[in-house]
Amino acid sequence: MKADTHPQYNEIAVNCSCGNSFTTKSTMGKPLHVEVCSECHPFYTGTQKIMDTAGRIEKFNQKYGKAGAKAAA
């Protein structure tokens, strides 16, 4: 690498709003605050909710399907 062309790549502290903190490397050069991390994100914690899109579509069709069919005819 050429000297003085690349930014400094230093270790920084990352603090999450859940209270978790860890270190990583970055060119940012100052501590970073994040709102979601792997300790509190639903995908990583296993509390992710799966959307029931089929049920929601059926509910929509029951509510608006007949009225929409009359308007289209």
Binding site for Zn(2+): which residues? Answer: 16, 18, 37, 40
Binding residues: 16, 18, 37, 40
User: Residue with structure tokens 């000297």?
Assistant: 3
Q: How far apart are CA 45 and CA 18, in angstroms?
A: 13
* Residue 70, C-beta contacts closer than 8 angstroms, at least 6 positions apart: none
